[in-house]
Every structure is written in C-alpha cells, then in structure tokens.
Amino acid sequence: MVLNFIRSLATIALLAVASATSADEGSGFPQIVGTWHGTYLVGFAKSNPNHEKGLLKTEMELEITKLDGNLITATNRWRRIGDTDWIVEEAMGTFSLDEPTRFVLAEAGISGDDVSAGIFNGVYLDDVIMITYAGPGTGVSFAAQLVKKDGSN
C-alpha cells in the first residue's frame, strides 16, 4: 500500500513537470508561428469615415511571432489593394483550452491613420487559418482565409 502511494506521488510529480514543460513549448496547440497571407473584403459601419467607399479589397499578413503554451504573440500588417504602405497593429491572444485549434487575438493599432483595436476569432484547420474580425469602436468587420507564406517558419 505504501509502495502504491509512493508510485502515485511519483506519477503525479512526473505529470506536473511534463505538463509545465509542454505548456512552455506550446505543445498540444497548432504550431502556427510564421507569416500568413490572404485577401478579403472589408465593410464599414455608417459612422465610419470610410463607409462611403463601400467594400474595399484588402490584403493582410498575420505574423505569428511567438507561442508560449496557449499564448500567442502576433503582428498584423494590412493594406488596401493598390496601396504600398502597410498599416501595422500588434496583437496578443490565446488558444482555447477546450478546442485547441481555435484562438482569439486582441489587437491594438500602432501606426497609420486607419488603425483600430479589435478582436480576431480564428481557427487553424488543414494548414489554413480562417479568421473573422470585429472592430467595434470603428465599425469594421471582415472574414479572411490565410495561408502560410513560402519560407515562413
């Protein structure tokens, strides 16, 4: 009985150490570090100054720079098709603990006139990231399908 108790404690200790190591490496979650690219149509609420422009075709690069367990660090660059300058926004997020292919990112704008703060809801499925975006403060929303750029880690 004492031997079984000691084995149980050893197993619990081993699992605790293994879980902590796995969380640090992001294991159990998709390894999505790299740059993801796609195009989409973006729509604007009537109160947004861009509303009169209608739907705008836009491209984005979502660079996932780091995974710490379930935490995600990212940079979002986007521009309207035909523009040369990128709007840059930083984001932090997390994978869902109950559905590890799903994640959410909260972004804050850092450059350009059209920056906004908003939320990405995403899912990683079959080597594709599918996201929906809502910027409630500026009335912006879109959905996009992103594929990993060649040569991206």
Report the number of distinct structural domains present in the chain: 1
21 domain residue, yes or no: no
pLDDT for 16: 42
* Residue-range definition of the domain harbouring residue 114: 27-148
User: Strand 87-95 relative to strand 128-135: parallel, antiparallel, unpaired?
Assistant: unpaired
The answer to whether the CB of 138 falls within 8 A of the CB of 131 is no
CATH at residue 84: 2.40.128.20
pLDDT for 91: 94
Running DSSP on this structure, what letter comes out for residue 120? E
121 domain residue, yes or no: yes
| Identity of the residue numbered 61 | E
Separation of alpha carbons 86 and 106, rounded Å? 19
pLDDT digits (tens, 9 = 90+) for 91-113: 999 999 999 999 999 998 665 55
- What is the length of the chain? 153
153 domain residue, yes or no: no
pLDDT for 12: 43
pLDDT digits (tens, 9 = 90+) for 41-93: 988 888 877 777 778 899 999 999 999 999 999 999 999 899 999 988 999 99
pLDDT for 36: 98
